Structure 1
Amino acid sequence: MENSRRFKILIADDDNISVILLTNYLKNIEADFIIARDGEEALTLFEQNTDVDLILMDIKMPKLNGLEVTKQIKSKNPHTKIIAETAFAMVDDEKKAIEVGCDAYITKPINGERLVTMVKSMLGV
């Protein structure tokens, strides 16, 4: 797929294996990845990279959880696309994620094909 520019994707996840899997699943998308290891770092990196095209947001992270980070990011830029991800899926997690502004929700272990479809849809590729 030809694209005129590279995308910028912020991955907010404190788990190294998850970060490796996410970047590997998305390797065929022309993108630069920015990695945040906790909620505070995710906010800082978002503020330094306001042109981020998409954020993959782990819900359970140190310092600030993904729901709180999402609320703060959406208050600064409501158009930022955010996909919530969680390994600890409770019945109302998806509802909570959507309520704070996440555009989509995916559970771990992540289905790579589903993730790629979701990301491409959000990026318009």
Structure 2
Amino acid sequence: MNYLTELLKKTRVSVLQATSGDQAVELCKTHHPDLVIMDIQMPGMDGLEATRIIKQMDSRLPVIAQTAFAMAGDRERITQAGCDDYLAKPIDSKQLLPRINDLLKIYHDKTSSVPFMDVNRN
């Protein structure tokens, strides 16, 4: 998660970190984030179960799944859990930042033309 934290520090977002699925659910309950980047292979409650619970609390909250071990059938399991997008590690900032920006626009205001982050798509 340190790479993501460093990457996102360059944007206008605040970062909360969870080390387990249980903690991710609790952070979502108490802090009401605008977007979640969920590692699907977390200790304790895995990221997919955490996503299901988080989506029950707020079905519109964007969740991007990430995993180091992309396997056959992962995309289907991730989509069924409620994730809005999926990235395999290593995360490429040129893919991640535009996806975050697009999901935030949808979540906050479908008609907004102002980006929530400065994202260079080139």
Normalising by the residue count of structure 2, what TM-score does the alignment of the two structures yield? 0.83
Aligned residue pair count: 106
Output aligned runs, 1:1-125, within 5 Å: 19-50=1-32, 52-124=33-105, 125=115
After the TM superposition, which segments of 4 or more aligned residues of structure 1 sit over 4 Å from their partners?
none
Provide the C-alpha distance between the structure 1 equivalents of 2:56 and 2:49, rounded to a whole number of angstroms.
Answer: 11
List alignment gaps of at least 5 residues for structure 2: 106-114, 116-122
Higher strand share: 1
- Deviations 1:84-115, CA, capped at 9 Å, x for gaps: 00001001111111111100000001111101
Normalising by the residue count of structure 1, what TM-score does the alignment of the two structures yield? 0.81
Q: Are the equivalent residues in 1 in contact too, given 2:8–2:15 (CA < 8 A)?
A: no
Q: Which moved more, 1:25-34 or 1:66-75?
A: 25-34
- Deviations 1:54-105, CA, capped at 9 Å, x for gaps: 0000000001000000000111110110000000100111111111110000
List alignment gaps of at least 5 residues for structure 1: 1-18
Shift of 1:27: 2.6
